[in-house]
Structure 1
Amino acid sequence: MLDIKDFSFFEKQNSFDFKSFLIKIVSYWKWFLISLVITFSIAHQVNVRKQKIFGIGTTIAVKEENNPFFTSNTSLVFNWGGTSDKVQMISTTLKSRSHNELVVDELQFYTDYFIKTDYYLKDVYGQIPFKITIDKTKAQLYEQFIKVKLVSANVYQIAVSIPSSSAGVIRYADNSVSSVPVFETEVVKNFRVGQQVSLPFLNWKLVLTKAPNDYIGKEVLIRFNSFDKTVANYKGLEVEIDARAGSIIRLGMQGTNKERMVDYLNATVKKLIDRQLEQKNKFADNTIAFIDETLMKMEGELKDSGEDLKDFSRTNNILDIEDKGANFKELLTNNDIKKEEVERKLAYLNSLKNYLNSSVDFSKLPAPTVAGIEEPNIVNNVAKLITLSIERSKMVYSAKGNIFYERIDNEIQSVKRVLLENANSLKIALQYDLRQVDMKISQLESEVKKLPETNQAYLNISRKYDLSNNIYNTYLQKRSEASIVKAANLSDIQFIDPAKDVGSGLLGPKTAVNYVLAFFIGLFIPLIVVFFIFFISNSIQNIDDISAITQIPIIGIVGIKHTESNLSVFERPKSALSESFRAIRSSLQFLYKKQRSEGAKTLMLTSSVSGEGKTFCSINIATVFALSEKKTIILGLDLRKPKIFDDFNIRNDIGAVNYLIGQKSLGEVIQKTHIPYLDVITSGPIPPNPSELILGESMKEMIEILKKDYDYIILDTPPVGLVSDALELAQYSDVTLYIVRQNFTKKEMLTLLNNRTKRGELNNISIVFNGYENKAKYGTGYGYGYGYGYGYGYGYSSGYHEDDVPRGFWEKMKYKFFKK
Structure 2
Amino acid sequence: MLDIKDFSIFENHSNFDFKGFLLKIASYWKWFLVSLIISFTIAYQVNIRKEKIYGMQTLISIKEESNPFFTSNTSLVFNWGGTSDQVNGISTIIQSRSHNELVVDKLQFYIDYLVQGKYNLEDSYGAVPFYIDIDKSRGQIANTLIGIKFLSESEYEIRIPFVANSVSILTYSNNSYSNTAVQPVEFIKKYKVGEQVLLPFLAWKLQINDNPGFYKGNEYFVRFNDFDGTVSRYRGINVSSEDKGGSILTLGMQGTNKARMVEYLNSTVKMLVKIQLDGKNQFATNTIKFIDSTLVNMESQLKQTGNELKTFRKDKNIYEIEGGGTKFSDKITDFDVEKDLVARKITYYNSLKSYLNNSVDYSRLPAPSVAGIDDPNIVANVSKLITLSTQRSEMAYAVKSDKIFKDFDNQMRAVKDVLLENIVTAKSSLLYDLSLVNAKIGQAESVVKRLPEEQQELLKIKRKYDLSDNIYNEFLKKRNEAEIVKASNLSDIHFIDSAKDIGGGLIGPKTSVNYVLALFLGILIPLIFVFGIFFINNSIQNADDINKLTQIPLIGVIGINKDSLSLAVFDKPKSALSEAFRGIRSSLQFLYKKQQVSGSKTLMITSSISGEGKTFCSINIATVFALSEKKTVIVGLDLRKPRLADEFNLTTQLGVVNYLIKQNSLAEITNSTDIANLDVILSGPVPPNPSELILSEAMRELIEELKQKYDYVILDTPPVGLVSDALELAQYADVTLYIVRQNYTKKDMITLLNTRVKRGELNNASVVLNGYENKAKYGSTYGYGYGYGAYSNGYHDEDEKHGLWKTIFNKFKKNN
The bucket for the TM-score relative to the shorter chain is 0.7 to 0.9
Please give the alpha-carbon distance, in whole angstroms, between the structure 2 residues aligned to 1:43 and 1:148: 34
Structure 1: 5+ residue stretches without partners:
1-6
In structure 1, the residue matched to 2:23 is 23
792-801 or 675-684, which moves further after superposition?
Answer: 792-801
- SS of aligned partner of 2:13: coil
Which residue identity does 2:190 align to in structure 1? Answer: K
Please give the alpha-carbon distance, in whole angstroms, between the structure 2 residues aligned to 1:430 and 1:68: 32
The verdict on how the C-alpha distance between 1:405 and 1:703 changes in structure 2, with shifts beyond 3 A counting, is: closer
Please give the alpha-carbon distance, in whole angstroms, between the structure 1 residues aligned to 2:283 and 2:76: 9
In structure 2, the residue matched to 1:368 is 368
725-734 or 165-174, which moves further after superposition?
Answer: 165-174
- SS of aligned partner of 2:662: coil
Which residue identity does 2:13 align to in structure 1? Answer: N
Please give the alpha-carbon distance, in whole angstroms, between the structure 1 residues aligned to 2:161 and 2:719: 79
The verdict on how the C-alpha distance between 1:74 and 1:455 changes in structure 2, with shifts beyond 3 A counting, is: closer
- SS of aligned partner of 1:275: helix
Tell me whether 1:679 sits opposite 2:679 in the alignment: yes
Q: Deviations over 1:422-466 (max 9, x none)?
A: 223212212323444555677788999999999999999999999
1:49-448 matches, within 5 Å, as: 49=49, 65=65, 71-72=71-72, 93-94=93-94, 98-117=98-117, 119-136=119-136, 140=140, 143-151=143-151, 156-160=156-160, 172-173=172-173, 186-189=187-190, 191-192=192-193, 201-213=202-214, 216-227=216-227, 230-231=230-231, 234=234, 244-245=244-245, 255-292=255-292, 297=298, 338-339=338-339, 341-353=341-353, 362-391=362-391, 415-416=415-416, 418-437=418-437
Please give the alpha-carbon distance, in whole angstroms, between the structure 1 residues aligned to 2:305 and 2:520: 91
In structure 1, the residue matched to 2:624 is 624
Please give the alpha-carbon distance, in whole angstroms, between the structure 2 residues aligned to 1:284 and 1:73: 13
> Shift of the alpha carbon at 1:18?
2.0
> Shift of the alpha carbon at 1:559?
0.5
Tell me whether 1:772 sits opposite 2:767 in the alignment: no
In structure 2, the residue matched to 1:654 is 654
In structure 2, the residue matched to 1:719 is 719
RMSD: 5.0
In structure 2, the residue matched to 1:3 is none
> Shift of the alpha carbon at 1:642?
1.8
569-578 or 805-814, which moves further after superposition?
Answer: 805-814
Which residue identity does 1:579 align to in structure 2? Answer: E
1:545-584 matches, within 5 Å, as: 545-584=545-584
The verdict on how the C-alpha distance between 1:728 and 1:477 changes in structure 2, with shifts beyond 3 A counting, is: same
- 1:191 touches 1:197 (CA, 8 Å); kept in 2? no
Q: Deviations over 1:706-736 (max 9, x none)?
A: 3343333222222233344434434443433
- 1:110 touches 1:225 (CA, 8 Å); kept in 2? yes
Which residue identity does 1:751 align to in structure 2? Answer: T
Tell me whether 1:604 sits opposite 2:599 in the alignment: no
The verdict on how the C-alpha distance between 1:624 and 1:145 changes in structure 2, with shifts beyond 3 A counting, is: same
Please give the alpha-carbon distance, in whole angstroms, between the structure 1 residues aligned to 2:644 and 2:165: 85
Q: Deviations over 1:9-44 (max 9, x none)?
A: 948531222222223333333433444444444444
In structure 1, the residue matched to 2:794 is 799
Please give the alpha-carbon distance, in whole angstroms, between the structure 2 residues aligned to 1:268 and 1:636: 94
The verdict on how the C-alpha distance between 1:539 and 1:418 changes in structure 2, with shifts beyond 3 A counting, is: same
- 1:559 touches 1:785 (CA, 8 Å); kept in 2? no
Please give the alpha-carbon distance, in whole angstroms, between the structure 2 residues aligned to 1:562 and 1:181: 71
- SS of aligned partner of 1:206: strand
196-205 or 117-126, which moves further after superposition?
Answer: 196-205
> Shift of the alpha carbon at 1:768?
1.5
Please give the alpha-carbon distance, in whole angstroms, between the structure 1 residues aligned to 2:156 and 2:126: 18
Please give the alpha-carbon distance, in whole angstroms, between the structure 2 residues aligned to 1:573 and 1:640: 32
In structure 2, the residue matched to 1:670 is 670
Q: Deviations over 1:75-121 (max 9, x none)?
A: 76756677787677656655555444322221112322222346543
Q: Structure 2 length normalisation: TM-score?
A: 0.82
Please give the alpha-carbon distance, in whole angstroms, between the structure 2 residues aligned to 1:637 and 1:482: 121
Which residue identity does 1:13 align to in structure 2? Answer: N
- 2:542 touches 2:781 (CA, 8 Å); kept in 1? no
- 1:239 touches 1:252 (CA, 8 Å); kept in 2? yes
- 2:172 touches 2:227 (CA, 8 Å); kept in 1? yes
- 1:541 touches 1:743 (CA, 8 Å); kept in 2? yes
Structure 2: 5+ residue stretches without partners:
1-5
Please give the alpha-carbon distance, in whole angstroms, between the structure 2 residues aligned to 1:745 and 1:489: 93
253-262 or 100-109, which moves further after superposition?
Answer: 253-262
Please give the alpha-carbon distance, in whole angstroms, between the structure 2 residues aligned to 1:452 and 1:759: 155
Q: Deviations over 1:102-147 (max 9, x none)?
A: 2222111232222234654332222323322234456655554332
258-267 or 535-544, which moves further after superposition?
Answer: 258-267
Please give the alpha-carbon distance, in whole angstroms, between the structure 1 residues aligned to 2:794 and 2:398: 89
Which residue identity does 1:189 align to in structure 2? Answer: K
Q: Deviations over 1:486-511 (max 9, x none)?
A: 12323345556655567777787643
In structure 2, the residue matched to 1:637 is 637
Please give the alpha-carbon distance, in whole angstroms, between the structure 1 residues aligned to 2:734 and 2:341: 138
Q: Deviations over 1:772-802 (max 9, x none)?
A: 0126269xx9xx9663x66364433333222
- SS of aligned partner of 2:378: helix
- SS of aligned partner of 1:768: strand
> Shift of the alpha carbon at 1:315?
8.2
Please give the alpha-carbon distance, in whole angstroms, between the structure 1 residues aligned to 2:174 and 2:590: 106
The verdict on how the C-alpha distance between 1:417 and 1:554 changes in structure 2, with shifts beyond 3 A counting, is: closer
- 1:635 touches 1:681 (CA, 8 Å); kept in 2? yes
In structure 2, the residue matched to 1:13 is 12
The verdict on how the C-alpha distance between 1:160 and 1:743 changes in structure 2, with shifts beyond 3 A counting, is: closer
Please give the alpha-carbon distance, in whole angstroms, between the structure 1 residues aligned to 2:144 and 2:806: 59
- 1:584 touches 1:786 (CA, 8 Å); kept in 2? no
Please give the alpha-carbon distance, in whole angstroms, between the structure 2 residues aligned to 1:44 and 1:292: 70
671-680 or 382-391, which moves further after superposition?
Answer: 382-391
Which residue identity does 1:278 align to in structure 2? Answer: D
Please give the alpha-carbon distance, in whole angstroms, between the structure 2 residues aligned to 1:139 and 1:11: 78
> Shift of the alpha carbon at 1:614?
1.1
In structure 2, the residue matched to 1:4 is none
- SS of aligned partner of 1:791: coil
> Shift of the alpha carbon at 1:71?
4.0
In structure 1, the residue matched to 2:485 is 485
Please give the alpha-carbon distance, in whole angstroms, between the structure 2 residues aligned to 1:170 and 1:590: 96
Please give the alpha-carbon distance, in whole angstroms, between the structure 1 residues aligned to 2:235 and 2:637: 87
> Shift of the alpha carbon at 1:654?
1.3
332-341 or 286-295, which moves further after superposition?
Answer: 332-341
Please give the alpha-carbon distance, in whole angstroms, between the structure 2 residues aligned to 1:470 and 1:14: 110
Which residue identity does 1:665 align to in structure 2? Answer: S
Please give the alpha-carbon distance, in whole angstroms, between the structure 2 residues aligned to 1:164 and 1:14: 66
- SS of aligned partner of 2:528: helix
Identity value in percent = 58
- 1:637 touches 1:717 (CA, 8 Å); kept in 2? yes
Q: Structure 1 length normalisation: TM-score?
A: 0.81
Please give the alpha-carbon distance, in whole angstroms, between the structure 1 residues aligned to 2:183 and 2:554: 92
Aligned residues: 804
- 1:601 touches 1:734 (CA, 8 Å); kept in 2? yes
- SS of aligned partner of 2:644: coil
> Shift of the alpha carbon at 1:569?
1.5
Which residue identity does 1:482 align to in structure 2? Answer: A
- 1:8 touches 1:751 (CA, 8 Å); kept in 2? no
- SS of aligned partner of 1:621: helix
In structure 1, the residue matched to 2:536 is 536
Which residue identity does 2:545 align to in structure 1? Answer: D
Please give the alpha-carbon distance, in whole angstroms, between the structure 1 residues aligned to 2:558 and 2:661: 36
Which residue identity does 1:586 align to in structure 2? Answer: S
Please give the alpha-carbon distance, in whole angstroms, between the structure 2 residues aligned to 1:25 and 1:550: 26
Please give the alpha-carbon distance, in whole angstroms, between the structure 1 residues aligned to 2:11 and 2:401: 72
